[in-house]
Structure 1
Amino acid sequence: MPSEELSQQLRRCLNDDTLPLEARIIGSLTSLYAMPTTRIVELTTDRFNRDGNDAYLTIDRHPVLLPPKLAVLIERQIASPSGHTSVLQRPHDGTPGFLFPGRPPSRPRRAESVHQCMRKNGLPGIHARNTAMMEAITDLPPIVVSDLFGLHPNTAYVWAQYAQNSWSEYLEAVQATE
């Protein structure tokens, strides 16, 4: 997916009120932080917190500053999870509820149903994630991407190698046409 298309998708997720709230949040997290759907559905409500005017989502071990529009969307999701009453969303054992509760609410929403929702609303998943990862890995050292996105360091290194190979092939192709 071209970078401009990823940016358009992100703008759509943050601004298009006709999209389902869950799709907007999931599409934004995928586009911004290259998070796979399987990790997004496992997020619990305690991973989100505010500190003054700033809002953070803890991904793996690190709190990540959220854009204000995304923070508002997540707050709306926590206040009124779609398809469930607030009584059902909160587990009785005191553990935090899932940001995207499934059925029963003590379990996360299934990744397959999320993928179906994203396709139905014209929001690419894996393509957006791959582009977001390529952009991150070309801008940041692999170890930083590993820490920030909760990837194994070897996985981040493989992505960095892939990005480097992609650029070298691209540059060779451009030079050949000149």
Structure 2
Amino acid sequence: MALIRFNKPYGVLSQFTDKGSETARATLSDFIAMPNVYPAGRLDRDSEGLLLLTDDGALQARIADPRFKLPKTYLVQVEGVPDSGALNALRRGVTLNDGPTRPAKAEAIAPPELWPRDPPVRYRKTVADSWLRLTITEGRNRQVRRMTAAVGHPTLRLVRWSVGEWTIAGLGQGQWDAV
């Protein structure tokens, strides 16, 4: 059984081929040359961080299936500075267009030491930004981005730090290892 931790860069698709695009986009095959492994879950093209890949179908399902409530922790740069009301709303769960979310762990954090993003996040002199650590136990489409927007703080940068017991600690951007 193979299990791979991959620190997915911004702009990379969470699949090995790019079908349906007229211009070539970066895919997992540009970084990982191991046959017969598949992503356990997805990470949007405009998100960064931990993507797990495996050749074990049962493990892939356990990691990706929301029924198992595997916690996923994100470092989220948001527009503005969320107050206690916004953080408490995330902790209670927010209502999105596809229903209420499960309660999340949410805390304001100091800016983390991360690799530079290419392209960089747009800086606006008149609008402050801040960082959150957000842990969720479900995985709806673009959920973290929709949650922060629902409390009035759109996401500027999204980095998945961990899934369950696995983290990207020690992996540089675009690097992978087998665990």
Q: Shorter chain as normaliser: what TM range?
A: under 0.3
Task: Name the larger-Rg structure.
Answer: 1
Quick check: which one's strand share is greater?
A: 2
Q: TM-score, normalising length from structure 2?
A: 0.21
Q: Normalising by the residue count of structure 1, what TM-score does the alignment of the two structures yield?
A: 0.21
Higher normalized helix content (fraction of residues): 1
Q: Say which structure, 1 or 2, has more relative contact order (CA 8 Å, 6+ apart).
A: 2
